[in-house]
Structure 1
Amino acid sequence: MVDFTPQAPTPEEIERDREAGRLLFAGECQFVFGAQKLGQLPDPLLPEVAFAGRSNVGKSSLVNALTGRRTLARASSEPGRTKQLNFFELAGRLTLVDMPGYGFAKAAKAVKEDWQGMMFSFLRGRPTLKRVVLLLDSRVEIKENDRQIMKLLDRAAVTFQIVLTKCDVPKPPVLAAKLREAREIAAAHAAAYPIVLATSSTNGEGIVELRAELARLAYPPPARA
């Protein structure tokens, strides 16, 4: 079981981490590779953070909000259509991995099984994968396939962090209840990181905090001469 015992950061540490996140995500970010099969994966060179979620959870919008680029990650016009792992290099210090959305209702059973097999193999065998950001839509109930993915991540022994999306939509009491539920779910999973974040790619809620979290996983910036 992964042992997480984070201590409350000081105001100085919070400000330092936010600035580190700002600087990291202000750096150059570019698409480097798209892999449809495990044999096509690029060499594991940088720390990696993968983004996973159901096909309509707002994954592409969140990646674009984090990087400040409107078209870095492109959402498919047909949910679940994109079936490849897309790798983006961020400032030469961190790789963002945009995973195919899951839960696409129109896909054949064999396609869904292939997706789960490929994702499990990637998650279990990628030595540079530091965290999976698991996105859950704050507007709707947590689906069974979300729970199945959490179990898959537990089996793969990959740390995952629950991040709620579209949090500008629910009313405050509804969002607070959703956050409590997500924290309870995280506490029940061996591989779950305990900090749950609420985000919105529309109004920027939680973006600064998520950048700060991910900056801790990146290689340090190059030393100044």
Structure 2
Amino acid sequence: MNRGLLDARDAEEREALIEQGRLLFCQPCNFFFAAQRLDQLPPTNHPEVAFCGRSNVGKSSLINAVTGHHGLARVSNTPGRTKQLNFFDLGGRLTLVDMPGYGYAQASKSVKEDWQGLMFDFLRGRPTLRRVILLLDARIETKAGDRAAMKLLTEAAVIFQIVLTKADDTKAAWLRQRQDEAAELVKQHTSAHPLVITTSSETGLGLPELRAEMAALAIPG
């Protein structure tokens, strides 16, 4: 496994790690599998990084932005539409997993329970899952569903990293408040990665850092 940004000793090493991330995400990224049940999951051939978040958090937009493939993950105007695990191969070195959204009020109770069951079974039973990128909307307060997801991730003993989305649509004072809150949430969960990344799919803020973190989990190039 490569070194992450927190391991960087100086600015030069940090820039080298960011360059590794850039090079990884210059590779082709292609959808190759979808699963709605645990017995449909593909073989565990590569390290995996999963993206998880509340419906309408901007997950698809962030996946498209970080990979540079703007039609890769489907962006829907109907929150809660994604109901399966979608797998994408990144240059034969890393698998990205788009997980179902959670916490959308208009989704039926049975569907929400199915999503949560599939999520937990996937999280606790996937040996190649290296990290879950947990997305929180920078514009609004942390919801009960977000806290429940953190609890679920901790119970599944999966490392998760908080990434704030939509920072471009957030006032500076509120954004600082959200960043401070995320830092406190990290301290409350043993499975939480200490580095919180603030992003914007519109401006590209934080995307180099996010790529560098994922490159540290990929098969070395």
| TM, length-normalised to structure 1 | 0.94
- For each residue in 1:128-166, what CA deviation from the matched residue of structure 2 results, as whole angstroms up to 9, or x when unmatched? 000000000000000000000000000000000000000
Deviation at 1:7, TM superposition (A): 4.8
- Read off the aligned partner of 2:80 and give its amino acid letter: G
Amino acid aligned to 1:25: F
Deviations 1:9-33 (A, max 9, x none): 3112101101100000010100010
Partner of 1:13: 13
- Structure 2: tracts of 5 or more residues without a match: 1-5
Aligned-residue CA RMSD in angstroms? Answer: 0.9
Are the aligned partners of 2:55 and 2:101 in contact in 1 as well (CA < 8 Å)?
yes
Alignment of 1:94 onto 2:115: no
Residue 8 of structure 1 and its aligned partner are, at CA, apart by 5.3
- Structure 1 CA distance, aligned partners of 2:181 and 2:214? 23
Q: Residue 177 of structure 1 corresponds to which residue in structure 2?
A: 177
CA 1:145–1:32: 2 relative to 1, 3 Å: same
Equivalence for 2:218: 218
Letter in 1 for 2:93: R
Is 1:114 matched with 2:114? yes
What's the CA shift string for 1:106-135, capped at 9, x where partnerless?
122121111111100000000000000000
The answer to whether the Cα contact below 8 Å between 2:8 and 2:14 also exists between their aligned partners in 1 is no
Structure 2 CA distance for aligned equivalents of residues 163 and 7 of structure 1: 18
1:195-214 correspondence to structure 2 within 5 Å: 195-214=195-214
Whole-angstrom CA distance in 1 between matches of 2:7 and 2:74: 37
The residue identity in structure 2 corresponding to 1:214 is: M
1:82 alignment partner in structure 2: 82
Q: Please, what TM-score do these two structures have when normalized by structure 2?
A: 0.96
Name the aligned partner's letter for residue 150 of structure 2: M
Deviation by residue 1:26-78 (Cα, 9 ceiling, x = unmatched): 10100010111111100000000000001100000100111111111012232
Question: 1:133 is matched with which residue?
Answer: 133
Q: Aligned partner of 2:84: which letter?
A: Q
Counterpart code for 1:148: A
Instruction: State how far apart, in whole Å, the 1-side matches of 2:48 and 2:13 are.
Output: 23
CA distance in 1, matches of 2:105, 2:216: 36
SS of equivalent residue, structure 2 residue 168: coil
How many residue pairs get aligned? The number is 216
Q: What does 1:20-169 correspond to in 2, within 5 Å? A: 20-169=20-169
The sequence identity of aligned pairs, in percent, is 62
Question: Secondary structure, in 3 states, of the residue corresponding to 1:168?
Answer: helix
> In 1, Cα distance between the equivalents of 2:187 and 2:194?
7
Change (3 A) 1:70 1:220: same
2:13 match: secondary structure: helix
Q: Secondary structure at the match of 1:15?
A: helix
Measured after TM superposition, the shift of residue 81 of structure 1 is 1.7
Kindly provide the CA deviation profile for residues 66-116 of structure 1, in whole angstroms up to 9, marking residues without a partner as x.
Answer: 111111101223211221000000010000000011111112212111111
